Amino acid sequence: METMYLKNLSYEEKHNLATDVKTPAKILAVLAQDIDPRIREAVAWNENTPVETLVMLAKDGDETRYAVAQANVPEEVLIQLASDDYLKVRCAVASNSNTPPFILATLAKDEDIRVRSAVAENKNTLAEVLAMLAEDESEVVRASVAWNKNTSADILAMLAKDEDDDVRLAVAWNRNTSANVLAMLAKDEDRDVRSKVATNENTSADTLAMLASDKICWVRSDVARNKNTPIEILTVLAQDENWSVREQVALNESTTTELLAVLANDDVYDVRTAVATNGNTSADVLAMLAKDEYIVVRCAVAENENTPKEALVTLSKDNNEWVSERAEEALKERKEKSKTSIER
């Protein structure tokens, strides 16, 4: 009786209830039987819809089944939806993080590359299934295997020789790719592949040194960005002709205080701003940058925890409101922290 009022509600009122995560389960169960398919679909999307209601909706219209296929539903429902005629439903099952390996193994043989690609990206997909998909006729599927964080080093080594640039790029990104394979990809003709090698944490110092002299500036920038890049290489890149490379050196958490002091005198304000944001920048350098002619540099100084109090006091009187407000906020935060420490 308490749900009888639902039939007298307008579409908007019922839709609001169907989408509201606070709507009680018994109300959602009633709305799941509404004559309007849009209301039933909305219920299927609601994260608080009870499992038994989702099981019933798994036999509903295309878009409703699609919503159910993405939810945390029982295994038997996923088995049913894995053979659905509607492509989007099968793709959703293949992408669902709750889909068990044996269902994914079946979907790995689906006729549509979008389904196979979704299986290749799923973290639950077994190694042997990934190995099979690594030899798929579609480069989209092979690339998806290469993007998967669970793909083994052996499979990645095979895909590193793939004729498709996007596949090799994904291999260069993957953190399971070995240093030896990355060294090979560092010589790839595709600059985007080399760029991904430069960002990979497994890339060796020798390979990073080679990429530090790459003809493409953003590859060198990626080397400068890599936290594993040795200081010797960062020192060389700090003198790069391209300012964006020097900026990345200034942003790198591995860059030394001494090198940051050199970059603090860079002609390009973007580089000096990066120095002002680095946690390794010394108080003396920050005090110097607090007098910089550019607002963004002074603002970055005001936000750096290493900035000396004297510099913050000066910045709190800055002619630019943006700078002065941040300096005042920093001084206030330090005062509150100091007070808390004393009380303890």
Model confidence pLDDT, tens digit, residues 17-62 = 999 999 999 999 999 999 999 999 999 999 999 999 999 999 999 9
Instruction: Return the DSSP state at 5.
Output: G
Do 162 and 139 form a contact (C-beta atoms < 8 A)? yes
Reported as a single tens digit per residue, the pLDDT across 134-189 is 999 999 999 999 999 999 999 999 999 999 999 999 999 999 999 999 999 999 99
Q: How confident is the model at residue 1 (pLDDT cuts 50, 70, 90)?
A: very low
pLDDT, mean of residues 223-237: 97
DSSP assignment of 214-258, as one string? -SSHHHHHHHHH-TTS-HHHHHHHTT-SSHHHHHHHHH-TT--HH
pTM: 0.86
Residue, of 3 and 60, whose pLDDT is higher: 60
Q: Residue 133 corresponds to which tokens in the numbers above?
A: 């998909």
pLDDT, mean of residues 311-333: 96
CA-angle at 163, arms to 126 and 129, nearest 5°: 10
Q: Which long-range contacts (CB under 8 A, 24 or more apart) does 250-253 make?
A: 250/274, 250/275, 250/278, 251/225, 251/277, 251/278, 252/224, 252/225, 252/226, 252/227, 252/278, 253/227, 253/278, 253/279, 253/280
Reported as a single tens digit per residue, the pLDDT across 248-283 is 999 999 999 999 999 999 999 999 999 999 999 999
State the average pLDDT for the chain. 95
